[in-house]
Structure 1
Amino acid sequence: MRNATGCSRAGKRKGRVSVRQKPLETLWEVPNELWERIEPLLLEAFPPAWTGRSRADWRKCFNGIIYQLRTGCQWNHLPRRFGSDRTVHRWFTKWVHAGVFLRIWSALVEECDELGEVHWRWQAVDGCLGKARMGGDLVGENPTDRAKRGTKKSLMVEEDGGPLSVVVAPANCHDSRLLKATLESIVVQRPAATRARPQHLGLDKAYDTPTAQQVVATMGYVSHTARINRGEWLPNDPAELKRWLRRRAARETKKKGGRRNPLAGGS
């Protein structure tokens, strides 16, 4: 049991004072050095007006947006320290339509690249599915979730996992169809691959198609794609297919100790 100061009576009796732990309120706040890079981009998109009401605290709004995106809470459940939830949501909508977040992303990646912190030698592309309960323009039936409405994000990262590009599409769009758009949507100028400095691209089995591999080669990458187990080869000619089935039936009969496979057909 605690008193008004938040100290345990048992702790007082034992000569110890236990202080109630408070949540880290600075977890969602943009550091000063990062804000110095972000604020000029916001001012460029929305210059301050000479007349009218004073503008909202952009830094609080930006911190509130980060909080909402990371926690997934509803906008009207934002903590009060971020200001009015309507104001935060209004500026979020304005910045999205003005392409501000894309400019911030591009500027930060460009600065990292100038410092040599973007490692272009190894890159990877993969897709992930997400739900879209509220609908939208880029929504399709999710093939892995009972055809519920959803989206697919095709994301490209560099060697250390830093995001380089993203493409959003309906959930029923195959990963390989988004590969070209993903490679062309890198937010900065990608350095050209050379023989001395090749660029490798890691892909999973979804990209093991002739079209996807042609895109990889055209873009100058060295492909590292997981291969699909396509099973045994089947001949196209009907007569050859019949002979092939007989030979396979004979092999299976031999493996089973001479017992004939009833599905094998004629002799």
Structure 2
Amino acid sequence: MARTYPWKVSDAFWEGVKPLLPATPSHAKGGRPRMDDRRAFEAIIYILRTGIQWNALPRELGASSTVHDRFQEWEQAGFFMALWQAGLCMYDELEGIQWEWQAVDGAMTKAPFGKAATGANPTDRGKRGVKRSLLTDGAGIPLAIVIDGANRHDVKLLCATLDGIVIARPEPAEEQPQHLCLDAGYVGAPARQEVETRHYVPHIRSRGEEKQEKVLTPGHRARRWVVERTHSWINRSRRLLVRWEKKGENYLAFLHLACAQLIFAKVEVFG
């Protein structure tokens, strides 16, 4: 099998990135030439996919301090969110977002240096951790993501996740309903009420119930697992396996970039 290089930025991906980049600051007063945008973007992708420390960035990819400054500049300009949105729009045109069946689930990870949006992880002896709550479409395409402390219950993040879809959600209709699949962690009236208020048809199942339905109902297709698979896809970006960013906004920027890269990879396939 040919070796893959997931940190490589294809020409097709770059063509989607280039129009969204913030305007280059003026150098009218002189100074050192600015690092090329594509080179800086490729170095950020390298950090994301390999998980190395900023100061361990190979010198041939760029000075770590320069690349980090560019990352901060682009994060403050909202570039990574805009890239994710642009990828979703392109994917929707080429393949179509599967709004009919959506799914939400949370995942926890360590955050030893994290400050904001962290808390004691109940599954890791109370060590500092972060929870990300993810909404996907029926094919596992990420539509929304929010973060909070690992001790925050999934139900408490449900509203922010459902309201955080980064592109316009079509209005559900009787002939085109939108179903939302949730696991047993969302059982209860509060979660069901929030789901129905947003005009979703709720499906709250435990893994055991899903397996039983599959056995008892010929042709039944479990639909909640796609969000768990997307969490796994995101974890292929090794920078996200453990949250090293102190700032919540920097961690979110990497999450947005991972979602964007995931979607643009699919756009290239369908394109």
TM over 0.5: yes
1:196-238: per-residue Cα shift (whole Å, max 9, x none)? 1111111001111211100110111111101599xxxxxxxxx
Separation of aligned partners in 2, 1:172 and 1:209:
19
Separation of aligned partners in 1, 2:188 and 2:37:
47
In the alignment of these two chains, the number of paired residues is 205
Runs ≥4 residues deviating over 6 A: none
Q: What is the RMSD of the two structures over their aligned residues, measured on CA atoms?
A: 2.0
Give runs of aligned pairs for residues 1-267 of structure 1, distance below 5 A. Answer: 27-42=6-21, 45-51=22-28, 52=30, 53-226=32-205
Partner-residue secondary structure (3-state), 2:85:
helix
1:9 maps to none
Separation of aligned partners in 1, 2:9 and 2:25:
21
TM-score (structure 2 length as normaliser): 0.71
Rg (Cα) greater in structure: 1
Separation of aligned partners in 2, 1:197 and 1:23:
43
User: Does structure 1 conserve the Cα–Cα contact (< 8 Å) formed by 2:117 and 2:149?
Assistant: yes
Letter in 2 for 1:142: N
TM-score (structure 1 length as normaliser): 0.72
Separation of aligned partners in 2, 1:79 and 1:202:
43
Separation of aligned partners in 2, 1:121 and 1:27:
31
Q: CA deviation at 1:48?
A: 4.6
Partner-residue secondary structure (3-state), 2:176:
coil
Separation of aligned partners in 2, 1:159 and 1:103:
22
Higher-RCO chain (CA-CA 8 Å, sequence separation at least 6): 2
Letter in 2 for 1:203: L
1:148-199: per-residue Cα shift (whole Å, max 9, x none)? 1111100111111111000111111100111011000000000111111111
Which one has the bigger helix percentage? 2
User: Does structure 1 conserve the Cα–Cα contact (< 8 Å) formed by 2:119 and 2:130?
Assistant: yes
User: Does structure 1 conserve the Cα–Cα contact (< 8 Å) formed by 2:40 and 2:67?
Assistant: yes
Consecutive unaligned residues in structure 2, runs of 5 or more: 209-271
Determine what percentage of the aligned residue pairs are the same residue.
46
User: Does structure 1 conserve the Cα–Cα contact (< 8 Å) formed by 2:6 and 2:49?
Assistant: no
Separation of aligned partners in 2, 1:80 and 1:128:
34
Residue 127 and residue 27 in structure 1: after superposition, are their counterparts in 2 closer, same or farther (change >3 A)?
closer
Residue 27 and residue 177 in structure 1: after superposition, are their counterparts in 2 closer, same or farther (change >3 A)?
closer
Separation of aligned partners in 2, 1:207 and 1:101:
30
Letter in 2 for 1:40: P
User: Does structure 2 conserve the Cα–Cα contact (< 8 Å) formed by 1:68 and 1:75?
Assistant: yes
1:235-260: per-residue Cα shift (whole Å, max 9, x none)? xxxxxxxxxxxxxxxxxxxxxxxxxx
